Amino acid sequence: MPNNSSKSRSADKNPNEPSKDITPLLTGWDYEAGAINVRKVPGLDGREKLQMRLDLGLLQMELTGRPDGHRPHGRESFLDYFEELAADHKKETGGADGFTLSTDQCQELREEAVMYYHRYLSLFILGDYPGVVRDTARQLRVLDICAEHAAEEHDRLILEQYRPYIIMMNTRASASLDFKDELFHKALTTVTDGLDQIREFFIRFGQQEAFDKSNEVKILKRFARDIRRKLPVDPLDKLQNKLTRAVKREDYEEAARLRDEIQSKRHQRESSGA
């Protein structure tokens, strides 16, 4: 028999309560398939919130701490809690041996990591690169603790497939900060270091040939080319390019003049210790 005592929520609605319908929040903010639409909005608690537009609504996240605002075990995240347990174990026993993460604990870390993925992706779209650096560095710690302490091999390896992507996003965000400050040499070094880390990943899994085919590698190499275009050109390199062109068009008189100029400038540079 039907339960006559149950009532719909609409029937119980207090007319004095504000509506929970999110339609007004979405008005003028249409969902675009294939695009990542995000924005920052003021929260009722006075703190900014991050929102991502979805096909059936939106996803709202905190800008700091765990994206859903929860504090498992009184810590910022499950990762912080498990890292603390691992550190306590090492302090008590003198080593990491004997500390393991169960399949359920690894699942908690993976589910939590999805929240941080949504956030750092949104922050990247908004150009909040410090937030991306923070959250991607945190994601790499998740991979590290699972790889080192998961009891089951499946849990140790399942997240490793995402390491190149996370490294790439961390590198792009970090180098973008340098690029914005016109620290082009530093930005290029950051990208080179990121590529080295991805190469080491493929070598570790015996997939060296996959490095050049990796989308993450292609993205970072393209970024490196953009950075190099901003680097000041060495005057000697410019003269060398002119010399090469003079030789190609068989203008040997000009080529001889350029050789003399190059040798003179090199001598001046060596003499000055530059």
Closest CA to 44 of 23, 69, 71, 12: 69
What is the chain's mean pLDDT, rounded?
91
| Residues 110-138 pLDDT 10s | 999 999 999 999 999 999 999 999 999 99
By the 10 Å C-beta count (0-12 exposed, 13-18 middle, 19+ buried), 60 is classed as middle
What angle in degrees, to the nearest 10, is found between the helix axes of 163-180 and 215-228?
A: 10
- Which of residues 35 and 83 earns the better pLDDT score? 83
Instruction: Write down the pLDDT at residue 21.
Output: 86
The whole-model pTM stands at 0.80
> Looking at residues 79-98, what average pLDDT do you find?
95
